[in-house]
Amino acid sequence: MSVLQSIVFSLSLAFLIIGVHQTFTIGFFESYWLFMISLVLLFLYNYLKRNKDKSTKQENKGKRKQKSNKKRKR
């Protein structure tokens, strides 16, 4: 997990906790925006995580091809 992913995930949880607290104190309609920010950050975290997974898979495929090409040249 990268630093950016950790920050985004932590902020998402913080906004969720603040949203729950505000729901109990002032009501759901006034704290709705906190839940939406939390959801957007969760989607961003998921996007960053999937994007990182795809890039590592592509790097691994490239390394495998290079290794197989070296073996064939010998």
Give the contacts of 5 (CB within 8 A, at least 6 positions apart).
Answer: 45, 48, 49, 52
pTM above 0.95, yes or no: no
Residue length, the chain? 74
Closest CA to 5 of 54, 53, 46: 46
d(CA 67, CA 42): 38
The burial class, CB within 10 Å (0-12 / 13-18 / 19+), for 23 is middle
How does residue 53 score in pLDDT terms, banded at 50, 70 and 90?
A: confident
Per-domain residue ranges of the chain = 3-73
pLDDT in tens, 3-26: 999 999 999 999 999 999 999 999
Instruction: Tell me if 7 sits within 8 A of 47, measured CB to CB.
Output: no
Q: State percent of the chain over pLDDT 70.
A: 82
Q: How confident is the model at residue 1 (pLDDT cuts 50, 70, 90)?
A: confident
